[in-house]
Amino acid sequence: QSALTQPASVSGSPGQSITISCTGTSSDVGTYNLVSWYQQHPGKAPKLRIYEGSKRPSGVSNRFSGSKSGNTASLTISGLQAEDEADYYCCSYAGSSLWVFGGGTKVTVL
Amino acid sequence: QITLKESGPTLVKPTQTLTLTCTFSGFSLSTSGVGVGWIRQPPGKALEWLALRYWGDDKRYNPSLKSRLTITEGTSNNQVVLTMTNMDPVDTATYYCAHFIVGEGYFDYWGQGTLVTVSS
């Protein structure tokens, strides 16, 4: 069970769209549609943004969207805003009731 | 309203055992489909899933740490206790507990986290 692979950093200008990838294997992301995404501001606890790959919890902006292709899940933030600057983590089911997080991506709003 | 809060020592010595308590409200671990998870984050590093207590008392552990981790119930039925043995400086991290929805697989409510430093 290895950590999912995310880019260390992604940046974009206000109003633009960015996409964060989360690459796993056929033992986790590729087989199960149980990928969740979390946003974490400095010094704060993570907050859920997407679950089951593409579903948004109540109250989460529709600027956040998720998708999956093969062994890679993606989080897209559209209409980038200053408040979106944070760290983002993916998490996937890995079988046998086990879970694995990604290495995290720092999003910078230019 | 669901809330969770971690408590325990802020400083432990190498080789000691860490015991953290997650005290929660707004839900019951007797309810089918819920769980309480433990996740940690070393300073400046990524989140790492440690363990999950599912409803019905099923427990799962990160395979890389399984030999050192134990989840038990606390002194009341709204507590989950995580024990980690043989602590090392690399275990210095903020430890979070979180409410977990089993069917859809996500952590929707998190505690504020507690920073545990391992140092002699």
Q: pLDDT for B61-78, tens place per residue? A: 999 999 999 999 888 889
Q: Which residues on chain B are in Cβ contact (under 8 Å) with A91?
A: 47, 49, 105-107
A85 Cβ partners below 8 Å, 6+ apart? A107, A108, A109
Residue numbers of chain A with a pLDDT score lower than 70:
none
Range B62-69, long-range pairs (CB < 8 A, 24+ positions): B62/A1, B62/A98, B63/A1, B63/A98, B64/A1
When CB atoms are compared, the residue of A36, A47, A101 closest to B48 is: A101
Quote the mean pLDDT of chain B: 96
